[in-house]
Structure 1
Amino acid sequence: MKNTLLSAINLHMPSRKAPHISIHIVGWILFMIFPLLFMANGNGYTALVSPATHYSYWLFCGCYICLFYINRYVLIPCFFLPRRYICYCAAAALLCGCIFMLQPFDRLLQQKWATPPASALTMAWVYEPPLIDITSLFIFFMIMALGTAITTTRRWQETERRAIKAEGEKIRAELSFLKAQVHPHFLFNTLNNIYTLALTKNNNTADSIMKLSNIMRYITDEVSANYVSLQQEVECIRDYIALQQLRLIPGQVEYHVCGELNQRKIGPLILMTFVENVFKYGISKHCPAPIIIRLHALPHCITFYCSNRIYPQRAARQGSGVGIPNTRQRLELLYPQQHKLDITDDNNLYTVRLTLFTD
């Protein structure tokens, strides 16, 4: 219980506590002025200030100020938030009993009409204390509800901040995982292809090395943000396809891009995942089939399409890796309710249709 209390106090004492304290001070000043206005009845400054010299006024204010802080910083963090509702209700009932016995509002009214009128001819209203001080109990429940509402709201806001931060951390972690996943699938094969080009003194060797360098730089350095330029993503895909074509027959890959790319943004490596998946599962040395990759940047959306043939020996592995589920989660985080992903395997073709709504 002690640790819970200390943590609760620390939670409500952040570095920006000055505005928080100011709000409390202003709120309690208004609360303390209200009974003075209620008792003055417009009789001038003296009648306004004189009730503050009586003990019943400070008893009234002190009871509810202490009640507020006991409820908010002791009862709620120690009992209510940990769902120890029976203990919380018992403690609240004990405080309610104290208010019932003290009757702070009743004592305040007794002070107002304790002095007889100055003139015997003046009719004075004689205050008769009730058996139960309903007003004091009503204020008690209002103060308890106010403290609970404020603490619950602050805790909800803190939970929302943590959730937003956790989503950002999750996106970064998934992006880092995706980076590590993209590397092994093509890096060694590409290096072997470049090595073969070097041995045969092929004129494309230097260009292939430059393309591989561009891809590695993009993956490792330029995709740390949540969104990158669509032009950068397309250039990475173009270099990736060019390197993959080193081991394919000419014309096997149909790659088409159209639309305005310069001013558009996209989540990094989202499209790259599907392109990498096409080359991982859609290539066979024994029965080559065409690979289709298309990207269209429309004014209010980005459409992506790719398809490859399903080979029986690889059908069980098609889409079974972690790349596609990882990308689905990232789409949910980066484009909530703003994307449509359709993956099918009909007619012996594995097809991906992705639409990203940008406006």
Structure 2
Amino acid sequence: MKFFKIYQNFFLRNLIINVLVIGIIFACVYDEFDGEKLGWSYLFKKICLGYIPMYFGVLCSNIFLIKMFFFQKKYKAFTVFFIIYWVCFYFFVSWYFLYTDLGRLKTLSVFSLVCNGTGIYFLHLWIVDKISQSSKDIINYESELSFLKQQLNPHFLLNAMNNLYGESLVAPERLPDRILNLSDMLRYQIEATKKDFVLLIEEVEFIKKYVEYYTFRNERLSITQNYEGDFEGIEISPLFFLPLVENAIKFSGETIAPFVILDVIVKGQNLSFSIKNNFLASGSRLLSTGIGIDNLKRRLEVYGLKHELVYHKKDDLFSVKLNIWDLPTAAL
């Protein structure tokens, strides 16, 4: 996993690869041109002089031409700019090589550079896509396992049955709704974690059911919910907000007057999520592991979501504020 993180880091990946390539070229040239007479510093300088413009030429082509035109399906503009760019680049490096006393650059060399550089870029995108998909699968599996461990362990089921039994004695007419609520939560969890993305409206409904279940379990718990905006058609990864809501309810439950304030606001494809809860500043029996925040950070990173995440404690209040921009939308 450390290798994958390094590979996904643009600067570290490029630093390692370029140092490796320059080292290989240096080793080959050193023997071919009798490096002992020329000196290793002279050869290294010449290699860098020739390699650097080549590297930046390929980099600019990949980032600006392929990414901005080819991937945006602007094929005509891409073809025109691609040809113009590489023709200009050829004349530039031909002059540059003569100016720096590196010899005459051949057309075949630039053509090989274009093909190899572009091919390696597409290979890199394929590798990143596979790494991202593997990370998504791992996260979804961990989320499913964590939720099942919580919801299906004997302690949870015992409490659920006791609560349902008590409800059947006091208000039996509400019992079917309680059972249905519990069933819906478990069903959604099982189905949702098989997907990369679910509809935001479904995720919100799941949170509402989750909150309803825990307010039923703990009558002292006060949860204020506010949902604004058009949630239709917006997608998000499954059980995305669950760790934060779960922790807020759990730590608030230790206080005399537990409360949770939840706000979810959607504007276009932008989402603002905030949650606040009180907790025991001292004497808590619960150990804060930070898993909820870490889980959220990993999901934001893996799914490549543009975001801003802020969280802090003040006195006996814990708050989390998350803004996400350009959420994906469901295909029509």
Question: Normalised by the size of structure 2, how large is the TM-score?
Answer: 0.61
Task: Quickly say closer, same or farther: Cα 1:206–1:173, change in 2 above 3 A.
Answer: same
Q: Retained in 1: the 8 A contact 2:274–2:319?
A: yes
Alignment of 1:28-39 (within 5 A): none
Between 1:159-168 and 1:250-259, the stretch displaced more is: 250-259
Q: Is 2:172 the partner of 1:181?
A: no
RMSD: 3.1
| 1:344 corresponding residue in structure 2 | 312
- 1:224 aligns to what? 194
What are the Cα deviations for residues 198-231 of structure 1, in whole angstroms up to 9, with x where unaligned? 4443424432232222122222212433321111
Q: Tell me, which stretches of 5 or more residues in structure 2 are unaligned?
A: 1-19, 35-97, 328-332
1:243 to 2:213 alignment: yes
The 1:91/1:164 distance shift into structure 2, 3 A limit, reads: farther
Q: How many residues align?
A: 236
Residue 88 of structure 1: aligned partner: 28
Q: Displacement of 1:270 after TM fit?
A: 1.5
Q: Which deviates the most, 148-157 or 302-311?
A: 148-157
CA gap of 1:191–1:207, structure 2 versus 1, over 3 A, is: farther
1:195 to 2:135 alignment:
no
- Matched with 2:239 is 269
Tell me which amino acid in the other structure corresponds to 1:291: V
Q: Tell me which amino acid in the other structure corresponds to 2:244.
A: F
Q: Please state whether the residue corresponding to 1:261 is helix, strand or coil.
A: coil
- Cα pair 1:178 1:323 within 8 Å, conserved: no
| Correspondence for 2:112 | 147
* Gap runs ≥5 in structure 1: 1-79, 95-133
The question of whether the paired residues in 2 share the 8 Å contact of 1:197 and 1:205 is answered with: no
Check whether the contact 1:253–1:292 (CA below 8 A) recurs between aligned residues: yes
Give the deviation of 1:278 after TM superposition: 0.9
Matched, 1:206 2:167: no
- The answer to whether the 8 A contact 1:256-1:294 is kept is yes
Name the structure 2 match of 1:353: 321
1:10-29 to structure 2, matched below 5 A, reads: none
Residue number in structure 1 paired with 2:125: 160
Kept after mapping to 2: 8 A contact 1:335/1:356: no
The residue type equivalent to 1:169 in the other structure is S
Q: Which moved more, 1:174-183 or 1:274-283?
A: 174-183
TM-score under structure 1 length normalisation: 0.57
**2:266 aligned residue:** 297
> Which residue, out of 224, 244, 248, partners 1:254?
224
Alignment check: 8 A CA contact 1:339 1:356 kept: yes
Q: Per the alignment, do residues 262 and 142 of structure 1 end up closer, same or farther by CA in structure 2, a change over 3 Å counting?
A: closer
SS at the partner of 2:283? helix
Q: Distance in 2 between matches of 1:341 and 1:159?
A: 29
Distance verdict in 2 for CA 1:196–1:161, change over 3 Å: same
User: CA offset at residue 154 of structure 1?
Assistant: 2.1
1:326-341 equivalence runs, <5 A: 326-336=295-305, 338-341=306-309
Using a 3 Å threshold, how does the CA distance of structure 1 residues 316 and 212 change in structure 2: closer, same or farther?
Answer: closer
Deviation, structure 1 residue 196: 1.0
Q: Which has the larger radius of gyration?
A: 1
Residue 181 of structure 1 contacts residue 323 of structure 1 at CA under 8 Å; is this kept in 2? Answer: no
Q: CA deviation at 1:345?
A: 0.6
Amino acid at match of 1:356: I
* SS across alignment from 1:355: strand
Give the distance between the partners of 1:297 and 1:83, measured in 2 at CA. Answer: 51
